[in-house]
Structure 1
Amino acid sequence: MEAKNIKYDCTRGTVSNRSDEGELSCGFNGGCCKLSVFDWMCGIPDADSADLFEVRFKNTRKLYFKNDTGIQIHVGDIVVVEAVNGHDVGIVTLKGPIMRRQLKRNDINQETYEFKKIYRKARVLDIERWQEAIAREHKTMIRSRQIAASLNLNMKIGDVEFQGDGTKAIFYYIADERVDFRQLIRQFAEEFKIRIEMRQIGARQEAGLIGGIGVCGQELCCARYMSDFQSITTQAARSQDLSLNPQKLAGQCSKLKCCINYEAAAYLDAQTNIPYVREPLDTLDGPAFLVKTDTLKGVMWFSYEQNSMTNMFPLDASKVKEIIKLNARGIKVESLLPVASEKSPEFVTAVGDDSISRFDEKHKGGGNNNRRKKTVNLKHNHNQNQGGRNENNKKA
């Protein structure tokens, strides 16, 4: 198997390879699946969900099907499933008792929901036709954008997904207002010779389709597990004392980050224990001004200098409530500055022999001077000895 013949399709989670004889093989690659689910109930027998399967298509589109054929189907198998018109091709990503929890998460009643059928496992001809339809998607998306621009439609076509049999395509588009695309659909049908389905998505859903890495270093939440998007306001950021900088609060979809809502409820609950300080606290040392608040710890920081963060001291929220009640009765409290604790005298040995640094040189500069003096004295002694030898030789 040569590496140049291998093709990785992260939009569908597949790895395809065409041999030298021209035979195409396609397999499942779970490492690049969006909205992947860990099956922690794998291996547990469950008769009620034995014939239910989750089938993954392009990007974040998943549907649920029923297997009435009696064929043994496993996770990772490429299957041919029922569609509104024709058939589609997808990959099985979940089976077993975890399916009941997945259906409950998506508000699907197992008793009343009409599950579409799984026809069979995909054959070589099905995979060939499926790969040919996938190869048309990018060119179709580029051409559809050109047609939409020529009609002066205020919309953006974000992605195109072909059905497995190549007879239908879903065009995902983003628009801030209602768009009349009847003329657009007619031109699409004439241009691409397929059935057209227009599906509107939001900016967050588009980010989930594309995928990426967030500022936290992990995969985007909308591509990893989020399927329902709640409204996010700047009030959630204010409750957490976050900087209202749009560049820091906005995600890759140019909307407020979904993770702002993760801890908003905890902060709102903790703020019920924090008193509202309308004016400085009256103390004998003067007014104490509120500088900042640690909501989760329930600690409020004050300073006697207004609009300054120097010489701050912490106060518990319960204590601040008591001070506010006393100030309301006209009573000034004592100084709020923390009492400086007296330092205990350090133990000093009378004899310095126990010091491990007693052998270290105390003055590095003096050491160099002593070395120079020693070399000068050695040269002087050497000259004296040499002169004495010469005088002895003359006498001899």
Structure 2
Amino acid sequence: MTGGIFNKTSAFALVAAAGLMMGGLTFATTSAKAADLGADDLEARVAELEATTVHKGNRKVSLEISGQVNRALVAWDDGVNSDANIVDNDQSSTRFRMKGTGTISSDLKAGFLIEIGVNDALSSAVSSANDEGAGEDNVYKTRQANVFFESKTFGRITLGQGSPATDDLALINLGGSLTDAGTYFNSGFTTSAGGTWGDLTNSSFYDSSRGDFVRYDTPALYGFILSAAWGENDVWDIALRFQKQFADFRVAAGVGYYYNGDPHGTNDLRNGARAKKYDKVFGSASVMHVPTGLFVSGSAGGMTTTDASGVEHDSSFWYINPGITKRFMDYGATTVSVEFGQYEDIGAVGVVGGLTGSNVDRYGFGIVQAFDGAALEVYAQYHHYEGDVTTGVGQAARTVDLEEWDAVVTGMKLKF
């Protein structure tokens, strides 16, 4: 038995020794060949090796890879049914991006941005009857695919798939809270009178969809940035943003105008065929007292939609989100906030057939804990929606109260 082990061990030792000898001979031979190589031959060999190696960009264009994963558990009750779903949080969805930049001069650089969204069980698409949202073939979506020139003196011009000037203009929030995610979470859940809560609080009303645009942004001047974009056949918008700190107070705000002359086939209305054109004015503002971390953020807007018959429908909304964000623990900042909002007649702007009016009130609260060492945010939220819808006009008008909708959302967002 001992001899057997010894024999096997000896065999392994002989093989290892042979390997070392061959390695030494190979190293010596390679070293000799390398010594014989001229400078041109050596450079050609290095170029050959580089051509077969995956590396970060090239020598002229840098490459940055980043993204995030944001998954959540939603437990909901619509007054008739209740359930729990695992979703991707569309308020700040899962995505990965590649960004490259190259320097042209000390004042000018060029670059590109490619960003892909992962829409698996997206919270804005999950519904009472469908806990998967988009089908497997629609899981990946191009969010950004554009090129740009950027100058410190003259600003930035972007061409391709991306954000219009007013994108995220109603979501300015220095507190960094995630409580406004409620509008996205309820999108597909059916009301007791038909239609969905998302139809009555249409998130595209206070935000603007990405598309193929040419966009210009000015350099920051005294805290102001002016942006304008045109594209998507007959869409254009303009926005003004501001951010500055005055003593102990930090201020951020934005206001913009958006016009869509051909909404057919876009995501800006849930039933685009009912709309001929629409425009909207909206914005948001946020103020934080830096020493205490107290903040208040709010947004508001109005929209006019012209339907296929030429009839105009007006709608409006307002939303407020006060809270506090402070570093109570070494791990990272803790944000606690509450929310209140109201949405008027959004269901009657060609989104839900047969409605002539709608009113939705919302309130809720949430907490977000950051863990800076892991670039992680863990959050828990409560959302409540209630309201009514109206059908008919004049003496034929009929108002129906909706069953209330409640949800508890817990999740985590990890950036990389």
| TM-score normalised by length of structure 2 | 0.23
Higher-strand-fraction structure: 2
More relative contact order in 1 or in 2 (CA 8 Å, sep 6+)? Answer: 2
Q: Give the number of the structure whose alpha-carbon radius of gyration is greater.
A: 1
